[in-house]
């Protein structure tokens, strides 16, 4: 049986850049791409999807998570995120919104889940979920 190749951080960043092409952003003109890596090496890509009524809009990160979870995935290792003005190349890092951080908290170990914020295919910064969501609330808190 062929051995699965590990996905590199750069491959994950490139997948997020590709995912950004799928963003549907007629209202904000700000397109975001996310690439979510499962613990067994699969990548789920997502773009942000906006709506004329605004509030039904979905961030790129949640598109990727909901695609993955709806396919039965529950174990995640990392996510790469890129964002910037639509149809322009990215010029700065794009941090996940609070709602997306909370969705990550639902499915990921904050100590080990890695969040890669990329400027381009060569430059990115890595954080843990715990760094971006200190004192996060999760299902474990409901058992206390």
Which residues in this chain contact ligand THU in the complex, by CB under 6 A?
25, 28, 30, 32, 48, 50, 57, 59-61, 83, 94, 96-97, 100
Check if the beta carbon of residue 60 is closer than 8 Å to that of residue 33.
yes
CB of 3 to ligand THU, least distance (A): 34
Q: How far is the CB of 133 from ligand THU (least distance, A)?
A: 13
Catalytic status, residue 61: yes
Q: Which residue, 6 or 51, is less far from ligand THU as judged by CB?
A: 51
* Catalytic position from the list 61, 71, 122, 123: 61
Alpha helix segments (H runs only) across the chain: 9-20, 60-70, 98-107, 129-132, 139-142
Closer residue to ligand THU, CB minimum distance, 41 or 126: 126
Q: SS3 of 39, please?
A: coil
Cβ proximity of 81 and 96 under 8 Å: yes
């Amino acid at each position: 049986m062929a051995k699965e190749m590990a996905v590199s951080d750069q491959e994950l960043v490139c997948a997020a850049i590709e995912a950004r092409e799928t963003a549907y952003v007629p209202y904000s003109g700000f397109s975001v791409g996310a690439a979510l890596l499962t613990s067994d090496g699969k990548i789920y890509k997502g773009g942000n999807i906006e709506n004329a009524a605004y509030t039904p809009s979905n961030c790129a990160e949640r598109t990727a998570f909901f695609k993955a979870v709806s396919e039965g995935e529950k174990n995640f290792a990392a996510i790469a995120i890129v964002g910037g003005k639509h149809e322009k190349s990215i010029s700065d890092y794009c941090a996940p919104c609070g709602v997306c951080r909370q969705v990550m908290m639902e499915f990921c170990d904050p100590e080990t889940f890695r969040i890669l914020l990329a400027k381009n295919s060569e430059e990115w910064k890595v954080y843990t979920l715990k760094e971006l969501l200190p004192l996060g609330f999760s299902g474990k808190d409901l058992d206390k």
